[in-house]
Each structure stands twice: as structure tokens, then as C-alpha cells.
Amino acid sequence: MNTLAFLLTQIVNALSQSALLFFLGVGLTLIFGLMRIVNFAHGALYMLGAFVGYSLTKWSGNYWVALAVAPVVVGLFGAAFEFAILRRLYRRDAHAFLMVTFGLALVVGEAVRLTWGPDALQVPAPDLLAGVMFILDEPFPLYRLFLVATGVIVAVAIWQFLERARLGLLIRATSQNADMASALGVDVKRVRSAVFGIGCGLAALGGVLAAPLVTASNGMAATVIIDAFVIVIIGGMGSFLGSLIGALLVGFVQVFGNYYLPDLALAFMYLVMLAILMVRPGGLLGKEA
């Protein structure tokens, strides 16, 4: 295997990893930017997405149905949770959210285990994406290339949504100054419900997309939530561009670190995060300390 081809393989791996991480990180950061909530249940919702995706694939026999429907289901669940529980807490300390969402993570994690059982479940990739593609005589799994493409599409879509759509405008206004937005007639409560739902839906999208690659398992929530936190913290809480940079950084550190320094890869990620926070306590693109 020549060096260039090898490097290319690793870069595609890192980019597809970054794409999966981005779906988590961007939802987390949107929610934080708007509501000052650290959503501890994000990993559990990502897992829920993967399992719902499994059932939908099995029921409909079509992965694309699962990909389209599972994020909507989980997103609606998230919006309902915001409506029923989180809404009561906006006057309270920020840590009340941390704890309620931690409770939600426990509940969702356990509910998933009871519903789908303790075993990892295989979600087959659609036939269209099951093969490999040869670049420089190196085989690339099509599915990874698909992930990279999806990541780019979703990133551009969210960016355009925030810049151009009316709801995107309201989200940006509310995250800058909720009181002022409310005084100008924005229904802040509904914006919050919508953003929490969208964030949860994005996490679920990441889960459905990850499922054919890593199987849907009970353990997937616990590891991924910390990665998502690292991304958001590195990028700066509440910054869309920051979550993109954070996801790329973490994806590349994980893939290349695992290859060159397998013993230190995990620790290296946290060291990068500590170093960034020591220089910029608010993260790379964060506003506040």
C-alpha cells in the first residue's frame, strides 16, 4: 500500500468519524446556545435513534425509511420532554437542567435496554451503499463516503437554515438575547421547544447513520456523550462553526491517534481539550469564559 493511498484512507475514515460526531455536537451546541442547557441525555437520544432506526428498517425493510423517520420520532420526543419538564426549570439554576437531563439519560438508557434487549443489533447498510469503491487502487467502503457526503450536506443545510430561514433568524435572536427577543414579540417558549427537538433529532440522525457501522448497542450512549461534550467545549459552547471545527479536530485526533499512538489516543484527546480551555476558557469560538 503506498503512502498516499494510505493517508487518503485514513483521511476518509477521519472525515466520516467527524461527520458522525458533528451530528451530536451541533445539536448539543444549538441547545446550549439557546437555553444554557447542557443536555446530558444527548448520548441516550443518539442511542435511541439507532434502535428506532433498527426497528423501522426491520418493519419497512428499507433503511431509507428509517433514516428519514427515526430522527423525526426522536425529535418529537425531545420537544415533548422540553414542553413537559424543562419548561418548568428556566427560572432555576443551570445545574437543575444538568440533573434533569442526567435523569432522562438514565430513563432512556434503561427503556432502550428493556425494549430491545441487552444484545447489540445489526443494522444492514442499504444495498446501494454496501460495496466498495476503488480510489488509487485502494478499496473504500461506500458507506463511509456516504457518511462524509451526508455530513457536508447537513452542515450546509443547518448553516443555511440558521442564516436564511425565519426560524433560524428567531433562534439566533433568542440565543443572543432572549428577553429582548421576547419583548419584540418572539414566542421564545416555542423557539426553545423547537430547538430542543431539532437538537435531539440531529443526535438521532447520527445514531441511525452510525448503526450500520458500529451496530446498535446499549453501550453506545456512554462513550459518545463525552466525545460530544469534548467537541462542544473545544469549539465553544453555542457556536455552530465551533462544533464543526471541534468535530473535525476530535475525528482526526481519534483516527490518526489510534493508528500512530494507540496507547495515548484517548488521553491525547482530553489533553488537547485541557490545553485549549486553559488558553481560551470559553472554547475556540466561544464568547464567554
Question: Which residues form the interface with other proteins (CB under 8 A)?
Answer: 32, 36, 38, 40, 85, 88-89, 92, 94-96, 98-100, 102-107, 109-111, 114, 222, 226, 229-230, 233, 237, 263-264, 266-267, 269-271, 273-274, 277-278, 281-282, 289
Q: Select 153 or 271, whichever has its Cβ closest to other proteins.
A: 271
Q: How far is the CB of 153 from other proteins (least distance, A)?
A: 30
Beta carbon nearer to other proteins, 179 or 288: 288
CB-count exposure of residue 280 (10 Å: 0-12, 13-18, 19+): middle
Q: How far is the CB of 7 from other proteins (least distance, A)?
A: 26
Residue 189 or 287 with smaller CB distance to other proteins: 287
Task: Considering the complex, state which of residue 124 and residue 281 has its C-beta at the smaller distance from other proteins.
Answer: 281
CB 231 within 8 A of CB 281: no
Element (H or E) spanning 130, and its range? none
What is the smallest separation between the CB atom of 170 and other proteins, expressed in angstroms? 24
Alpha carbon distance 249, 239 (integer Å): 15
Closest approach of Cβ 273 to other proteins, in Å? 5
> 155-179 as b/e, with b when 16 or more CB fall inside 10 Å?
beebeeebeeeeeeebbebbbeebe
Q: Least CB distance from residue 182 to other proteins, whole Å?
A: 23
Cα 282 from Cα 239, distance rounded (Å): 10
Segment holding 261, helix H or strand E: none
The residue (of 185 and 262) whose beta carbon lies closer to other proteins is 262
Give the nearest distance from C-beta 87 to other proteins in angstroms.
11
Nearer to other proteins, 95 or 166 (CB): 95
Q: For the chain, how many helices (H) and strands (E)?
A: 11, 2
Three-class HEC string of 154-181: HHHHHHHHHHHCHHHHHHHHHHHCHHHH
